[in-house]
């Protein structure tokens, strides 16, 4: 393709972005092959600022991983353990309540609960986690269980996933996290996470959650054996579901961390790829309100720069994260609110604390907080 043809096509795509028109798979492919980093960033920033202005969102949260014992063996996972491995653990109810108590006393608005699919833990064990934490800490939003876990619950119980989601919602579940999506494309998925819920199951479960009035997030694991075509396919499948339900709040591209995994020969994605992937996600997912630069996974510096490459959210204080730290992440275990706010301000954005459902959080003295207005989030 001549330079003139490339420039003409780029300016057509720029026109689409400026006029809020949808980009096609081929537009995405063209941008990936031909747009340099500043151009991609500039285009993504147009969408980012149209949807979220100059704000970057953060939340005050903690993670709870009730068990790392897992029936599956995803090749990218350093977190899982075999049943008999000394690394394996399963938390008691008291340990989990203690963790929730800690989160509540730190003023957290959210507990993010995901873990392994334990060979011997029945569905009732998972249900009970939601029940006991919600009973004692009703103000803590419980964002729990990936679609892979919901599918596992259905396989264990023989019950439809939609019934199980409704049951947990009634017990105190607040929303679904975006994990387990990995890469949907069938050329890749069976090679990295054989046997676990496939694309159609993952998407069906999120559709069901949205139909039941719950919001959810979506992730994409990049930088392993997939190509740009697989990443674009992944984004477009999510975009199609979002057109129908509008239930996704945030898209979170997750950079692969190779240490201690069966794919440890693959190098970690570069900072350049992290920025390009976030920018392309912002451009392709025109109907998803937010793009997250998850600082635990990206590191603080790239999370900051990402605020000019499409991202408008950096997740939260986190605390007790295991999945990335087992896989070689050298980012800190937790961030204070003051450092989160400082890193957002340094990147030229205005920090706004949100709850899981993107209401502004109004802090009163100490750990007390109340829900403010629904924040600007134009789908």
Contact footprint for ligand V47 (CB under 6 A): 76-79, 146, 177-180, 182, 217, 219, 221, 252, 254, 256-257, 261, 294, 315, 323, 327
**Residue 314 partner contact from ligand V47, ligand SF4, none using kind-dependent CB cut-offs of 5 to 8 Å:** none
Compare residues 152 and 294 and give the one whose CB is closer to ligand V47: 294
Nearest-5° angle of CA 238, CA 202, CA 63? 95
Q: Are 251 and 288 in contact (CB under 8 A)?
A: yes
Task: Find all residues with CB under 8 Å of 194, minimum gap 6, and list them.
Answer: 73
Q: Are 220 and 183 in contact (CB under 8 A)?
A: yes
Contact between 79 and ligand SF4 (CB under 6 A)? Answer: yes
Task: Find all residues with CB under 8 Å of 68, minimum gap 6, and list them.
Answer: 79, 80, 81, 87, 88, 89, 115, 116, 322
**Residue 309 partner contact from ligand SF4, ligand V47, none using kind-dependent CB cut-offs of 5 to 8 Å:** none
Contact between 257 and ligand SF4 (CB under 6 A)? Answer: no
> Min. distance of Cβ 79 from ligand V47 in angstroms?
6
Give the torsion through C-alpha atoms of 194, 196, 202, 206, to 10 deg. -150
Compare residues 43 and 258 and give the one whose CB is closer to ligand V47: 258
Q: Which two tokens stand for residue 230?
A: 């697989």
Contact between 63 and ligand SF4 (CB under 6 A)? Answer: no
Residue 200 CB coordination number (10 Å): 11
**Residue 196 partner contact from ligand SF4, ligand V47, none using kind-dependent CB cut-offs of 5 to 8 Å:** ligand SF4
Stretch that binds ligand SF4, among 51-59, 70-78, 259-267, 280-288 (CB under 6 A): 70-78
Q: Which residues of 315-352 are buried (b: 16+ CB within 10 A; e: fewer)?
A: bbbbbebbbbbbbebebeebbebeebbebbeebebebb
295: left (phi over 0), alpha (psi -120 to 50) or beta: alpha
What is the footprint of ligand SF4 within residues 272-301 (CB under 6 A)?
none
As a whole number of angstroms, the distance between CA 350 and CA 301 comes to 17
Compare residues 43 and 148 and give the one whose CB is closer to ligand V47: 148
**Residue 252 partner contact from ligand V47, ligand SF4, none using kind-dependent CB cut-offs of 5 to 8 Å:** ligand V47
**Residue 70 partner contact from ligand V47, ligand SF4, none using kind-dependent CB cut-offs of 5 to 8 Å:** ligand SF4
Stretch that binds ligand SF4, among 66-74, 163-171, 284-292, 346-354 (CB under 6 A): 66-74
Task: Find all residues with CB under 8 Å of 253, minimum gap 6, and list them.
Answer: 219, 220, 222, 274, 277, 278, 281, 291
Contact between 241 and ligand SF4 (CB under 6 A)? Answer: no
**Residue 80 partner contact from ligand SF4, ligand V47, none using kind-dependent CB cut-offs of 5 to 8 Å:** ligand SF4
Contact between 148 and ligand SF4 (CB under 6 A)? Answer: yes
Residues that bind ligand SF4 (CB under 6 A): 70, 72-74, 77, 79-80, 116-117, 148, 193, 196
């Amino acid at each position: 393709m001549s330079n003139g043809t490339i420039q003409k096509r780029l300016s057509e795509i720029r026109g689409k972005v400026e006029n809020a028109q949808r980009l096609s798979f081929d537009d995405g492919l063209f941008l990936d092959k031909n747009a340099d980093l500043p151009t991609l960033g500039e285009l993504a920033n147009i969408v980012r600022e149209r949807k979220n202005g100059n704000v970057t969102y953060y939340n005050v949260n903690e993670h709870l991983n009730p068990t790392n014992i897992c029936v599956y063996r995803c090749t990218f996972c350093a977190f899982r353990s075999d049943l008999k491995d000394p690394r394996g653990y399963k938390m008691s109810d008291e340990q989990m309540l203690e963790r929730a108590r800690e989160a509540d006393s730190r003023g957290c608005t959210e507990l993010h609960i995901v873990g392994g699919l334990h060979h011997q833990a029945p569905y009732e064990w998972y249900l009970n986690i939601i029940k006991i934490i919600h009973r004692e800490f009703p103000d803590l939003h419980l964002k729990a269980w990936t679609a892979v876990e919901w599918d596992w619950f259905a396989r264990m119980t023989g019950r439809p996933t939609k019934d199980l989601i409704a049951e947990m919602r009634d017990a105190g579940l607040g929303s679904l996290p975006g994990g387990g999506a990995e890469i949907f494309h069938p050329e890749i998925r069976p090679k990295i996470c054989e046997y676990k819920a496939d694309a159609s199951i993952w998407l069906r479960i999120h559709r069901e959650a949205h139909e039941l009035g719950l919001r959810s997030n979506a992730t994409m694991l990049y930088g392993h054996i997939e190509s740009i075509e697989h990443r674009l396919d992944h984004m477009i499948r999510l975009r199609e579901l979002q057109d129908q339900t509008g239930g996704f709040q945030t898209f979170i591209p997750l950079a692969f961390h190779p240490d201690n995994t069966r794919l440890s020969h693959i190098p970690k994605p570069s900072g350049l790829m992290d920025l390009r992937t976030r920018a392309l996600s912002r451009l392709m997912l025109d109907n998803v309100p937010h793009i997250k630069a998850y600082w635990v996974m990206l590191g603080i510096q790239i999370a900051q720069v990402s605020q000019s490459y499409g991202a408008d959210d950096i997740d939260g204080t986190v605390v007790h994260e295991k999945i990335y730290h087992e896989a070689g992440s050298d980012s800190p275990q937790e961030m204070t609110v003051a450092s989160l706010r400082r890193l957002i301000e340094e990147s030229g954005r205005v920090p706004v604390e949100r709850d899981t459902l993107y209401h502004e959080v109004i802090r009163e003295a100490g750990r007390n907080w109340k829900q403010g207005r629904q924040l600007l989030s134009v789908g």
